């Protein structure tokens, strides 16, 4: 058994542990209305962020992963390069694994380094180029913005486990569409927690879009129905329906999602046009595997990968691309309304390595 085969034969982390942790966050801070919007009082910062290019925003958001890949790899090198031997390959492998890219991609990078440079002294640039090229190959997908309806309102449902970033991502999407000149209506379909409705209310005010609310503890399908009906009546272009967090194993809650879909579909047969699954990047690879089942059960059409800024595990986008047969559409790179970016693999990889100043080969 070869060096990397030994790594390969190590079992992947058990799926689900982290999902459970994610489902029941240690503490759900209820957000008082006054502080629910992190943009308040930061107008200058917001203005400068808005003028920041996508690459710069990606760079800022990916700082922690980028640091792992650039600074920490630099630390593997002595002044004039390093001999590619088992020690080096083991160190490189360990470092790549810390980005949560998964064992297979990390192996494949190390094997390429081994094939090209074994027993030679390499420069850091050689290694970074191999990593970049491999990431681009693994992530390849066209940008996939929202598939808008040809006529009438586009209905987007947003689903996922508790605390993954659904409500915040809805605010970000609402802002994006509003900036495109579209009329947006939000549905506060997380009737499970009063604070969730309050949180979306504050965001709707701040972003300047309409909101349909239900009673606390009310039927989310009825909120969804009223939201879509209002969108139809008022000629809104987009409506986004929030949902309570749930797990695939909670049969009653999964049935509730199906009911919401059915109710929406009665008003607009092609709707929902998108069902976006919000994943929490900080949950890393463990949280991802079980979400796969969720995605299939809920008929998801795309992923929003939230909280990429909060983790050095940005490599997790690779197993996500590999395990889900739906595209990563957007990534969340901060807590503010503008901290959302259309996911573009080229931009993503460029941002990760921008500071190293090494073009991909």
Q: Report the interface residues with Mg ion, using CB under 5 A.
A: 166-167, 190, 196
Residue whose CB is less far from ligand GDP, 162 or 285: 162
Return the residue of 153, 187, 272, 310 that touches ligand GDP, per CB under 6 A: 310
219 binding ligand GDP? (CB under 6 A) = no
DSSP structure string for 148-213: --SSS-EEEEEE-STTSSHHHHHHHHHHHHHHTT--EEEE---TT-HHHHHHHHHHHHHHT-EEE-
| 3-state SS class at 103 | helix
**Residue 162 interface partner, choices ligand GDP, Mg ion, none, CB cut-off 5-8 Å depending on type:** ligand GDP
Shortest gap between Cβ of 144 and ligand GDP (angstroms)?
Answer: 18
Binding mask 240-269 for ligand GDP (x = CB under 6 A): -----x------------------------
338 binding ligand GDP? (CB under 6 A) = no
Instruction: Report 87-106 residues binding ligand GDP (CB under 6 A).
Output: none
Query: Contact at 8 Å (CB) between 172 and 334?
Result: no
**Residue 168 interface partner, choices Mg ion, ligand GDP, none, CB cut-off 5-8 Å depending on type:** ligand GDP
Shortest gap between Cβ of 191 and ligand GDP (angstroms)?
Answer: 13
CA–CA dist 241, 170 (Å, integer):
8
Query: Contact at 8 Å (CB) between 241 and 189?
Result: yes
Binding mask 165-204 for ligand GDP (x = CB under 6 A): xxxx------------------------------------
Contacts with ligand GDP by CB under 6 A: the residue count is 19
CA–CA dist 281, 1 (Å, integer):
33
DSSP structure string for 11-34: PPPPTTHHHHHHHS-S------HH
CA–CA dist 162, 244 (Å, integer):
7
309 binding ligand GDP? (CB under 6 A) = yes
CA–CA dist 179, 332 (Å, integer):
17
Shortest gap between Cβ of 243 and ligand GDP (angstroms)?
Answer: 9
Residue whose CB is less far from ligand GDP, 36 or 264: 36
Structure tokens at 143: 């940008």
| 3-state SS class at 216 | coil
Shortest gap between Cβ of 164 and ligand GDP (angstroms)?
Answer: 4
Shortest gap between Cβ of 195 and Mg ion (angstroms)?
Answer: 9
Return the residue of 69, 204, 306, 351 that touches ligand GDP, per CB under 6 A: 306
Q: Per DSSP, what are the bridge partners of residue 210?
A: 185
Residue whose CB is less far from Mg ion, 170 or 268: 170
**Cα radius of gyration rounded to whole Å, the chain:** 22
Instruction: For the chain, give percent helix, strand, coil, nearest 5.
Output: 55, 10, 35
Peptide bond into 272 cis (omega under 30): yes
Dihedral sign computed on CA atoms, order 73, 74, 75, 78: positive
Residue 78 is given by DSSP the state B
311 binding ligand GDP? (CB under 6 A) = no
Binding segment toward ligand GDP, per CB under 6 A, in 49-57, 88-96, 213-221, 301-309:
301-309
CA–CA dist 312, 96 (Å, integer):
11
Residue whose CB is less far from Mg ion, 63 or 167: 167
163 binding ligand GDP? (CB under 6 A) = yes
The helix (run of H) or strand (run of E) holding residue 330 is: strand 328-332
Residue whose CB is less far from ligand GDP, 245 or 314: 245
Binding mask 268-287 for ligand GDP (x = CB under 6 A): ----------x---------
Contact residues: ligand GDP, CB under 6 A: 160, 162-168, 245, 278, 306-307, 309-310, 332-335, 339
């Amino acid at each position: 058994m070869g060096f990397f085969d030994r790594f390969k034969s190590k079992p992947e982390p058990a799926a689900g542990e982290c999902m459970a942790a994610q489902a029941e966050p240690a503490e759900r801070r209820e957000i008082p209305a006054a502080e629910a919007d992190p943009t308040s009082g930061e107008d200058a910062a917001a203005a400068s962020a808005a003028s920041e290019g996508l690459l710069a925003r990606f760079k800022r958001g990916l700082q922690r992963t980028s640091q792992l890949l650039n600074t920490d790899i630099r630390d593997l090198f002595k002044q004039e390069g390093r001999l590619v031997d088992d020690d080096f390959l083991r160190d490189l492998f360990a470092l790549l694994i810390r980005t949560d890219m998964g064992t297979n991609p990390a192996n494949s990078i190390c094997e390429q380094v081994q094939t090209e440079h074994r027993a030679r002294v390499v420069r850091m640039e050689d290694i970074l180029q191999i990593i970049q090229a491999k990431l681009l190959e693994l992530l390849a997908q066209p940008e996939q913005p929202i598939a808008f309806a040809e006529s009438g309102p586009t209905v987007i449902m947003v689903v996922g486990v508790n605390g993954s970033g659904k409500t915040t991502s809805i605010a970000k999407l609402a802002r994006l569409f509003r900036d495109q000149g579209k009329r947006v209506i939000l549905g506060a379909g997380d009737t499970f927690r009063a604070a969730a409705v309050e949180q979306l209310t504050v965001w709707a005010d701040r972003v300047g879009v309409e909101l349909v609310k239900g009673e606390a503890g009310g039927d989310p399908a009825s909120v969804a129905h009223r939201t879509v009906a209002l969108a139809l009546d008022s000629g809104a272009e987009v409506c986004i329906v929030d949902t309570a967090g749930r797990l695939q194993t909670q049969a009653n809650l999964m049935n509730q999602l199906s009911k919401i879909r059915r109710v929406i579909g009665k008003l607009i047969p092609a709707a929902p046009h998108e069902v976006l699954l919000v994943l929490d990047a900080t949950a890393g690879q463990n949280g991802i595997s079980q979400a796969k089942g969720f995605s299939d059960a809920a008929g998801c059409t795309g992923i929003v990968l939230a909280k990429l800024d909060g983790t050095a595990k940005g490599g997790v986008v690779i197993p996500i691309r590999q395990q889900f047969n739906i595209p990563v559409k957007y990534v969340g790179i901060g807590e503010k309304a503008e901290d959302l970016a259309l996911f573009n693999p080229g931009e993503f990889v460029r941002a990760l390595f921008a500071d190293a100043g090494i073009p991909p080969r």
